[in-house]
Amino acid sequence: MGLIERATVHASYYRYNPSLAPAIVAAVLYTIAFILTLVQWVRYRAWIWGIMVVSAAMEAAGWISRCLSVEKVTDKSTYSVQFGLVILAPVLMAACCYIIFSRILFLIVPRQSRTFKLCWVPPRFITPIFVGFDVVALLLQMGGAIMITSVDDTDKDARDKLNTGKHVAQIGVIVQLVAFGLFAVAAIRFNFTSQRFTNSVSERYESFGEKEHIIGGVAKNKHWPTLLRVVNITTILILVRSVYRLVEFTQGTTGYLNTNEWPLYVFDALCIYPCVALFVYWHPSRYLPYMGFRLPKEAR
C-alpha cells in the first residue's frame, strides 16, 4: 500500500471499506417509499401521518448522503449527515406506532372499557407518554451523534469525546428500547384482549356494503386487525434495530459491528424499510376514520 493509500485509509471516517452498490439500492428504495408516503399523505389528508413523511424523508436523505460519503470517505460533513439521519429516523417511526395504536384503541374499544387492566395505559395518555420518551431518546441520540461525528482524530482528548458521545447515544437508545419494549408488549398483548370487541365494532357502526362501515360520516374498512398486525410487525422490527444500535454503541469503535459493513444493512436498512413500505400498502387512512392532529370529541 502506497503513502497516498495509507493516508486515505487513515483519514477515512469508516473503519471498513464501504460499498457503493448497497448504498445506492437503499437510497433508491427509501426514496421510492418516501415519495409514495408523501403522495398518500396529501391524497388522504392524513395530517398526523406527516411524522412518517418526515422520517421517510430522513431515511432517503440519509442513504443518499451515504452514497456521496462512500465516494468521498474523508469528507466529514457528508459522513455526519448520513450517520445522523439514519440514526434518528426510526425514533420518529416509533412515534407513528404510538399514535396509530392509540387511534385503534379509540376506534374499537368502547369508552367504558378503556381501563388500565385492558390497555395498561389509557388511550388518551399513550401518545403523550410514549412520545415524551421518544423525544428524550431523540435528543439524546441526536446529541450523541453530534458528539461522535464532530470528533477530530487530531484532538488530544479525541478518545474521551468519542466515549462521551457514545455513552450519550447509548443512553438514548436504552430509553427508546425500554419505552418501546413496554409498548411492544402492550401492543402485541392487545391482539388477544381486543378479540372481545370484534363483533361490537360491527354493531356500533352503520353497515355500508360488505367490507366497510360508516364512522362519523366517513366510510372506512372494518378490518382494523390488519392495521394492528402491521403496527405489531413494525414495532418488532424497530426493536431489533434498536438492540443492534445498542450493541453497536456498547462495543465501541473497534467492535465487530463498527468494523464490518453488512450488519448496518441487515439490522438497520433491511429492518427499517418495511416500517415505511408496509404502511404504504396498508395505509392507516384506509382503516381509521380520523387522521387529523386531533380526534373529534365524539370519537374520544
pLDDT category at 263 given cuts 50, 70, 90 is: very high
| 109 against 64, higher pLDDT | 64
pLDDT category at 76 given cuts 50, 70, 90 is: confident
CB-CB neighbours of 211 under 10 Å = 10
Lowest mean pLDDT among 24-28, 107-111, 177-181: 107-111
| 63 against 202, higher pLDDT | 63
Query: Cell 439521519 sits at which residue?
Result: 85
Q: Structure pTM?
A: 0.82
pLDDT over 50 (residue 208): no
Pairing of strands 206-208, 212-215: antiparallel
Is residue 179 within 8 Å of residue 133, measured between CB atoms? yes
**pLDDT confidence of residue 279:** 96
Listed in order, strand segments (DSSP E) in 116-211 are 206-208
CB-CB neighbours of 209 under 10 Å = 9
Give a yes or no: residue 261 inside a domain: yes
Give a yes or no: residue 294 inside a domain: yes
The overall average pLDDT reported for the chain is 82
- For 28-66, the pLDDT digits (tens) are 999 999 999 999 999 998 999 999 999 999 999 999 999
Q: What percent of the chain has pLDDT over 70?
A: 80
Structural domain boundaries enclosing 289: 19-110+119-202+215-299
Q: For residue 126, what is the domain's CATH number?
A: 1.20.1070
**pLDDT confidence of residue 209:** 46
Cell numbers describing residue 97: 406506532
Q: Number of structural domains, the chain? A: 1
pLDDT over 90 (residue 91): no
CB-CB neighbours of 154 under 10 Å = 6
Give a yes or no: residue 7 inside a domain: no
Give a yes or no: residue 93 inside a domain: yes
The alpha carbons of the chain give a radius of gyration, in whole angstroms, of: 21
Give a yes or no: residue 209 inside a domain: no
